[in-house]
Amino acid sequence: MKVLITGMGAVSSLGVGVGTMFKSLLEDTSAIRHYPEWAQYQGLGTHLGAPVPEYDISRVPRAARRTMSRMSEMAVVATGEALQMADLNIGNHVNSPRVLICMGSTTGSPSTMETYFKKLFERGGPEGQLGTNFFKVMNHSVAANVASALGFRGPVMSPSSACATSAQAMIMGWELIQSGMYDIVIAGGADELHYTSAAVFDIVQAASRGYNDRPQQASRPFDQARDGLVVSEGAGVVILESEKSAQNRGARSYAEFLGGSYFCDGTHMSQSNASAMCEVMNTSLDRARIQASAVEYINAHATGTIQGDAEEAKAIGEVFGNRVPVSSLKGHFGHSLAACGAIEAISSIKMMEEGVLIPTRNLSSVDPSCSQVLHVQEKRSTRPKVVLSNNFAFGGMNTSLLLSLP
């Protein structure tokens, strides 16, 4: 059974809306900025982040909005765009057991957690806590708030696999539609920028510290001078739909979701592992019934870390050799954590649509440890028919998915 993408929505550091976001990519924009105020946090070496510009959440009623942190708000806006693009009136499916909302985040809202625990410790107990706070920090906050904003009363699930979350949500959606369980899956993920998220990577020496005074040059996937990732935020949502459902609705299809897989490497929580990456890419090709030779562009996860980028280049080289163009978008967006899988899949679909490959930003000099693949260093006019997108996460979570034009 074919699974199509009939809608896409993005709230990203490069703009709100898929069109705005892709225009910024075409213009080679960096969303990364310096946060001098982060210098107050003892031991935090990275002072860089890539925030989402202003978005409008005012149309959502207060009763739904009161339990939303920033990540849920962004997810609601992205879902609204995706539904609109899909011409899908969720009101018609409000009680449908055939429609699933499947989206998550790395954790609950870190900014709310900070507020909550600060007060908890100051007061020695829960006195003075807002009743709405818990709904911003619970693990399924994003999915539940999106459902609440839509008035959706059908099935909801909330996968959480850190930086692979939205990729996993999409692959799970593909699996569930393939199984015949659902006709439509609203899949994605969201995360919000907070210094504690940056600190997670800073503590394990994976965040960029050397470019605090040159933010536009920070986040340098595969580059010799890379020194770590820059944390971003955002939300990415796609509407996955069975071909039959799309045909019955007369819906336009933007891409076909060919398949994918999500594996845990089972060996290390934080160190990337090329052989595990190979395994997830090969399994994804098998599940999509696609030969490696059919893939014409690879959107790498490559976040700009020393080890992760080298392992991914090695893995891609082993599976595909050096003939497939490869680029990472982390130099533009930063790393939007749970959102990046969907945001990068959407960006890859736009590349296919527009017939252009976006190069890796800040890749001036390819590091010898990353030289096994064909890097896209300048914008390239070509229309790949099949693309593969990788996303890897702490916990040893590896995902790979394949897309084509419909």
Give bridge partners of residue 49 from the DSSP assignment: 33, 231
Give yes or no for residue 42 binding other proteins (CB under 8 A).
no
Give yes or no for residue 124 binding other proteins (CB under 8 A).
no
Q: Scanning residues 64 to 103, which ones bind other proteins (CB under 8 A)?
A: 66
Distance from CA of residue 138 to its chain's centroid?
20
**27/127 with CB nearer other proteins:** 127
**62/179 with CB nearer other proteins:** 62
Run of H or E including 33: strand 33-34
Stretch that binds other proteins, among 124-132, 167-175, 295-303, 324-332 (CB under 8 A): 124-132
Stretch that binds other proteins, among 103-111, 128-136, 239-247, 286-294 (CB under 8 A): 128-136
Least Å distance, CB 80 to other proteins, is: 20
CA distances from 208 to 200, 236, 336, 372, 392 (A): 12, 24, 15, 24, 18
Least Å distance, CB 130 to other proteins, is: 5
Stretch that binds other proteins, among 11-19, 129-137, 292-300, 359-367 (CB under 8 A): 129-137
DSSP state of 223: B
Give yes or no for residue 62 binding other proteins (CB under 8 A).
yes
Stretch that binds other proteins, among 103-111, 127-135, 226-234, 359-367 (CB under 8 A): 127-135
- The correct pick among 36, 43, 91, 131 for binding other proteins (CB under 8 A) is 131
**Burial environment of residue 294 by CB neighbours within 10 A (0 to 12, 13 to 18, 19 or more):** middle
Least Å distance, CB 37 to other proteins, is: 20
Task: Measure the CA dihedral 15/236/46/36, to 10°.
Answer: 40
Give yes or no for residue 128 binding other proteins (CB under 8 A).
yes
Distance from CA of residue 30 to its chain's centroid?
17
**65/301 with CB nearer other proteins:** 65
Least Å distance, CB 142 to other proteins, is: 19
Handedness of CA 38, 43, 47, 48 (dihedral sign): negative
- The correct pick among 20, 29, 96, 129 for binding other proteins (CB under 8 A) is 129
Q: Scanning residues 132 to 161, which ones bind other proteins (CB under 8 A)?
A: 132
Residue in 144, 338, 159 with CA at minimum distance from that of residue 234: 338
Q: Regarding beta strands 255-264 and 397-404, do their DSSP bridges make them parallel or antiparallel, or are they unpaired?
A: antiparallel
Q: Scanning residues 179 to 208, which ones bind other proteins (CB under 8 A)?
A: none
- The correct pick among 19, 56, 117, 130 for binding other proteins (CB under 8 A) is 130
Give yes or no for residue 63 binding other proteins (CB under 8 A).
yes
How would DSSP label each residue in 259-286? EEEEEE-SS-SSS--HHHHHHHHHHHHH
SS (H, E, C) 93-147: HCCCCCEEEEEECCCCCHHHHHHHHHHHHHHCCCCCCCCCCHHHHCCCHHHHHHH
**43/62 with CB nearer other proteins:** 62
**58/179 with CB nearer other proteins:** 58
Give yes or no for residue 2 binding other proteins (CB under 8 A).
no
Run of H or E including 391: strand 386-393
Which residues fall within 8 angstroms of residue 266, CB to CB, at 6 or more apart? 276, 396
**63/124 with CB nearer other proteins:** 63
Contacts to other proteins by CB under 8 A: 62-63, 66, 128-132
